[in-house]
Amino acid sequence: MTDKTVSMYWELLNLCEDFLDSGYLTEHGRAPSLPGLQPLKTGDAGHRTAKLEELHETILECTACGLYEGRNLTVPGEGVTEPVVFVIGEGPGADEDRTGRPFVGKAGRYLDKWLDAIGLSRNTNCFIGNIVKCRPPGNRDPLPDESSACLPYLQKQVELLRPKVILSLGRIATQILTKRTEGITALRGKTYRFMDLPLIPTYHPSGVLRNPEYRAPVWDDLKRLEALLHE
């Protein structure tokens, strides 16, 4: 696909998003029904799948921080077990808490379009998760003790999934993974390391839905991610 074609595709996606913003909901816009894990039948994927399922069973029952008290469902994450990209957000929202799946609301549908624009999908080559696996009340930021309690689960997921690149979404996820304190506007545009893997930060899809001026920098970040995958 040429740069021009990709740019046209991206513009089309943004136009579609404008329709969604204005309340034009289509069947196409709804997230597909997916199981939590979709193994690829290569290498040690079977072993990895078993380990991930074991880990996710533990997460489902976890009471290690106060967030367990208000949750409906835990949201361990979903995708393939040999992802090229591990997409990491901050925490589940209301739709995710209700379904047990990550990024299934409006921001999630928007994220799926971003990924699709560069040939990525939770169905085929990505895994999507969050820093905390239970919804913070009222969608507040996770507290430091809550993210610290949950981080070992994410580290274990990264260890088992072994993605090529991590894409962090938004300020909270990026600050926690990079151990830095700047805002996302200052943090994005560079490549960091998490568990010895390259990490590219970008804005959170819900932030971009509220601030259309973030679309261009997001597209720059996605193109950098795509280039990194092809190195």
Q: What's the rounded Cα separation, in Å, for the pair 231 and 216?
A: 23
> Cβ distance 75 to 92 under 8 Å?
yes
Q: Which amino acid is at 202?
A: T
139 contacts ligand SF4 (rule: CB under 6 A) = no
Question: Judged by CB under 6 A, which of 10, 38, 52, 67 binds ligand SF4?
Answer: 67
155 contacts ligand SF4 (rule: CB under 6 A) = no
Q: Which is nearer to ligand SF4, 91 or 113 (CB)?
A: 91
Q: Which is nearer to ligand SF4, 25 or 94 (CB)?
A: 94
> Cβ distance 221 to 188 under 8 Å?
yes
> Cβ distance 188 to 157 under 8 Å?
no
Q: Which residues inside 70-99 make contact with ligand SF4, applying CB under 6 A?
A: 74
What are the start-end ranges of the H helices in the chain? 3-21, 45-60, 94-99, 106-117, 144-161, 170-178, 184-187, 205-210, 215-229
Q: What's the rounded Cα separation, in Å, for the pair 109 and 119?
A: 15
Q: Which is nearer to ligand SF4, 85 or 149 (CB)?
A: 149
Q: Which amino acid is at 17?
A: E
Interface characters, 166-205, with ligand SF4 (x: CB under 6 A): ----------------------------------------
65 contacts ligand SF4 (rule: CB under 6 A) = yes
Question: Judged by CB under 6 A, which of 109, 133, 188, 204 binds ligand SF4?
Answer: 133
Site residues (vs ligand SF4, CB under 6 A): 59, 62-65, 67-68, 74, 132-134, 146, 149-150
